Chain A
């Protein structure tokens, strides 16, 4: 694993079809922490993630890894440092789990197959995600919860110093959401920086150290979870009348069953 360094976005702007999907976003992410990016549909979360991961060039602004601007890194070097899980993960071929996880080593291995370091990293990734016994199963036949773990294992196999996961909890039941959130926390505790986009605010509040709230391409709040999602922010971002209450095991979001304002 490379030495932990900050991931920095400066004045990021992405325009799609004339509209600014990401609008002048400046953020500094620190390693060893779980940062959740939340916001309503179409807020620009996924677009921000693709820029941070270096798979999309922003129209303006720059993403830096420590001192190095991403565009100045080779694709290979960038992919070694940043593991990226797209929002709609595609698995085109029925590969076995081990072979699939080994794809995460693409930026490390040479032209001629996997070396001992690759095998070790894949083993560790399978171990960390509890997939040892699944190594020979076919990815496309796994359940949603199992597949989510395989996808994270694939990113971990690259031993990235940053893990960027776009909605890793979507489509999972609450139990598997918890498992995945705990796994992300463990990855951050091991020293990597974790950035996730989430829709479930309750999960975001419990799983993350820091929340970034986006609306219409802009960051409207950036703080510790409960502090970021004030009633005012919740009303602006989601049109919800909601506030946090103290639950038995942490904060709970109390949501009134109506919108505060009609939204178009």
Chain B
């Protein structure tokens, strides 16, 4: 029953995603009619191929990466408030990226910055696992995440302020409030392979995440190697989340909201949430980005700001409903 239901939800999400893909290509400051798709001579073809297409595909990739890593982190921590943003993993990735800018390493090759971002994210997850301890309960995980996030955010600001860079202030916001605007196919090429490998690792961890429903001792009794799950999660979240942040900066709350919504549709089994969360993450980020583009204003709103505006109240509502259940 759950299987067929999950399948139906995935199908519906795929349809929604396709619709959003088309909308994302068409919508924006300049609306592009469909016939341009087959007419490379049209001047708007350039907007389509150089701006809209990479932006849309990046939105799908990053949204899916964040949704998936959120679902995996919630499964691992057994905490519905976990998410790469809340736990400071995204900020650690941003710190890793910014460090390469500060030391001028990023120019050496296209893969240096993503590599450091992924390293930062993986280091973040490892720190969380170490700090929260083997019995890592919900509260110590969140606290460790808050500390990690604050430190990394301060590190980003510090590096960019000290850097010989007249645009420090705007760069800081770029990294801490991510955006999909003005990205190229190169960005996609530099990140997609890592996201794919990371996603595969997280998918492999599925049965172990299910077993963790019984707690760490229970999971071990079911033959699950905790070390193996920890490595899979650290590497998987490091790759997906790090590679995403390297291209777009920190976009929060996708990984928080999406698994929560999906849990209502497909049930709470952690492994069953992975694929729907990836699809729904892609839908959510793409929708938010379309919204950010079409809202009139002098400057385009960053999609990271958009997600924070949507996500923070959601986080609050979630906290309140959890508290109501506990008392």
> Interface of A with B (CB < 8 Å)?
50, 53-55, 74-80, 82-86, 88-96, 99-100, 103-104, 106-107, 109, 111, 113, 154, 158
Q: Tell me the bound Cα distance from A162 to B318 in angstroms.
A: 42
**Which residues of A are found within 8 Å of B207, using beta-carbon distances?**
106, 109, 111
Interface membership of chain B positions 186-223, coded 1 if the CB is closer than 8 angstroms to chain A and 0 otherwise = 00000000000000000010110011111101101111
Whether A89 lies near B270 (C-beta < 8 A) is no
**B138-172 residues at the A interface, CB under 8 angstroms:** none
**B223/A76 in contact, CB under 8 A:** yes
User: Nearest-CB distance from A94 to chain B (Å)?
Assistant: 5
On chain B, the number of residues with a Cβ less than 8 Å from chain A's Cβ atoms is 24
Q: Which residue of chain A has its CB nearest to the CB of B77?
A: A92
Given A84-B218, A91-B213, A99-B269: 7 more A-B contacts, CB < 8 Å: A50-B217, A80-B223, A90-B213, A92-B214, A106-B223, A111-B204, A154-B214
Pair B268/A75 contact, Cβ less than 8 Å: no
> Are the CB atoms of B210 and A86 closer together than 8 Å?
no
Chain B residues with CB under 8 A of A79: 221-224
Across the interface, name the chain A residue whose C-beta is closest to B138.
Answer: A92
Whole-angstrom distance between the alpha carbons of A86 and B206 in the complex? 22
* Interface membership of B225, Cβ < 8 A: yes
Q: What are 18 A-B contacts defined by CB distance under 8 Å?
A: A55-B220, A75-B223, A75-B224, A76-B223, A78-B223, A86-B217, A86-B218, A88-B215, A91-B214, A92-B213, A93-B78, A99-B2, A100-B213, A103-B213, A106-B223, A113-B3, A154-B214, A158-B222
Residues of B near A74 (CB, < 8 A) are: 223
Contact partner of A90 (CB less than 8 A), chosen from B206, B215, B222, is: B215
The 3 closest A-B pairs by CB, nearest first: A79-B223, A90-B215, A84-B221
Q: Provide the bound-state CA to CA distance between A76 and B78, in Å.
A: 23
Residue B267 CB within 8 A of the other chain: yes
B214 contact from A77, A80, A89, Cβ within 8 A: A89
A86-B217, A111-B204 known; A103 vs B223 contact (CB < 8 Å):
no
Residues of B within 8 A of A55 (CB): 217, 220-221
